[in-house]
Amino acid sequence: MFEIGWPTIDSKHLIVDSNQMLTLEKEMFFDGMPQEALMEKAGIQISKWLLKRKPLLKHGITIFIGPGHNGGDGAVIARELFLRGYLVNVWCPFPIKKTLTNNHINYITSIGVKKLVETPDPNGRELWIDAVFGNNQTKKVDNKLIKLFNKKFHNKYGKVVSIDIPTGLCPNNGKPFLDNAVKANYTLAIGLHKIGLIQDSALAFIGELHHIDIGVPINKLSRVEKKIFKITYCDLKNIDLPSLPKNSNKYKRGRTLLIAGSEKYSGAAYLALKGALSSGAGFISAVLPDLVSQSIWQVAPEVVLKGTMQSNENGDAILFRALKNIDLSVYDSLVVGPGIGVDNQDWEKSKDYFIGFEGLLILDADALNRISESKLGSQFFSERKFKTWITPHSKEFSRLFPDINCENNVELALEAAKEFNISVLLKGANSIVAESNKAWQLFGTDSQTARAGLGDLLSGFLGGSAAIDLTFSKNITTDSFAKYVLLHSFAASKCKRGSNASAIGDVLSKLMRKMKTRQIS
């Protein structure tokens, strides 16, 4: 058993694939939990969720009952809402296959719930509940049914709620089995979040995602082999940052070196430095292009200039000459890549400095592009024997690891982390941080903050923040990586002056100050 630092292992945070969820349910049944009881619990918990949102119910409810146990959940919901006095109709688009589901349908029709014969009208104002196929769906669904739901969704006369998984959506990769899937206003994940629901590809279908707790025992959750966590801004309150002693000097508050910028991309250097400064690290050094070095004292006088970089004929930075004169061993962390441009010959000369660096190496942007085009390629990471964090977006990732193919982005990040013994931030709408057997997936972040320069800001922030951590322990863990990515995202969401990287850097600095002063006695 490996240690989990953050967040807590519980049903709200843990993400599983469809097979893992089925295994957990089977274990509960083996231990004596009746299948009927689990269906009752799921249906009643969903009904309680709906009853807290009565405006959704005021025009009545039509529940689409599927052939399996997801349909049985829908029948329990129909019963509960009908008994509360709401107008409830059910429709069964496919023949019922499960005895338990059929028994529930027989009962609800006996007490007055109407079972529709004709196809429901998508132009009505009632709430539609998609209880057709849940976690067990594995293949394409009749496209007519999906078109019917999506006509309702686009008409906006009444809302659509999907139970567990929108019909037609793969629970493991978040993509439609066919051309399309049901588009829901709300998706209610039963028991645990299914991995497909958290993927970027699912965002167009799931609407608001909510968790329905059915009481999966903690001891069973702890035994899930591969831990994948859903983290949101709510988890910030449980973040513990290092409490620095009041008498520690600047060299004991984190030492980081940033190699950033070029004649072509000078702004990247400024933003990376701003990110490092916002972290509160005690000693920030930089290797900068000539152009930036001449003015850095005006915008960031706190930064110690350790060297300057010339540029090649294309405006890309030349690292090798500057690296020859720097003692990298004095730094806790080293950030390489924001805006340096791609120069393959220079990388071949420079790479040994980075392979041999014994601190935390953080590689971003053009450093990753240089690696992907180099002779070693991704084997660079195998050559390096010390801790490494990388921050690719999807295209950079595919260039770095062309031979890694997985069903979703979480699995991609986990596979790369395991194969090369690195920690990976795979950027996206729902960014992922992964090591070999654990992953943290951000969810519910601000979609308006995907702007140029934010990656540069993040790289500097990671370098400074990690350097502070490394003054306490040389064995910095990947959950720290995930924490700092979440903090960066939260600062972006709270920036009232816009979503440009410079303004967000100011908010990030204030946020870190608040968090640290709260913890320092």
173: which DSSP letter?
T
Residue type for position 74: G
Q: Mean pLDDT throughout 505-518? A: 85
Which residues, other chains included, contact 277 with Cβ-Cβ below 8 Å and sequence gap of 6+?
284, 300, 302, 303, 460, 464, 505, 509
**63 contacts 90 by C-beta, under 8 angstroms:** yes
Q: Mean pLDDT throughout 374-379? A: 97
Main-chain dihedrals φ then ψ at residue 333, nearest 5 degrees: -140, 155
Range in 252-256, 373-377, 383-387, 448-452 with the lowest mean pLDDT: 448-452
Closest CA to 456 of 498, 500, 397, 511: 500
Q: Considering only the top CATH level, what class is 14-224?
A: alpha beta
User: What's this model's pTM, rounded to 2 decimal places?
Assistant: 0.93
Q: What is the pLDDT of residue 2?
A: 40
**189 contacts 45 by C-beta, under 8 angstroms:** no
| Continuous segment of H or E residues that includes residue 360 | strand 360-363
Residue 442 has pLDDT above 70, yes or no: yes
DSSP H helical ranges for 232-360: 266-279, 290-293, 296-299, 320-323, 344-356
DSSP H helical ranges for 111-174: 143-155
Residue 340 has pLDDT above 90, yes or no: yes
Rounded Cα–Cα distance for residues 40 and 79 (Å): 11
Domain locations in the chain? 14-224, 237-519
Give the N- to C-terminal CA distance of the chain in Å, as an integer: 34
348: which DSSP letter?
H
Cβ neighbours, 10 Å, residue 214: 22
Residue type for position 117: V
pLDDT tens-digit readout, 54-110:
999 999 999 999 999 999 999 999 999 999 999 999 999 999 999 999 999 999 999
Total count of residues recorded for the chain? 521
Q: What does each C-alpha distance from 517 to 98, 297, 467, 513 come to in angstroms? A: 58, 28, 18, 6
Residue type for position 110: S
**Collapsing DSSP states into helix, strand and coil, what is residue 317?**
strand
Pairing of strands 127-131, 114-115: unpaired
Q: Classify domain 237-519 at the CATH superfamily level.
A: Ribokinase (3.40.1190.20)
**91 contacts 116 by C-beta, under 8 angstroms:** yes
Cβ neighbours, 10 Å, residue 89: 17
Q: What is the pLDDT of residue 3?
A: 47
Q: What is the pLDDT of residue 520?
A: 39
121: which DSSP letter?
P
Q: Mean pLDDT throughout 192-215? A: 96
**Collapsing DSSP states into helix, strand and coil, what is residue 45?**
helix
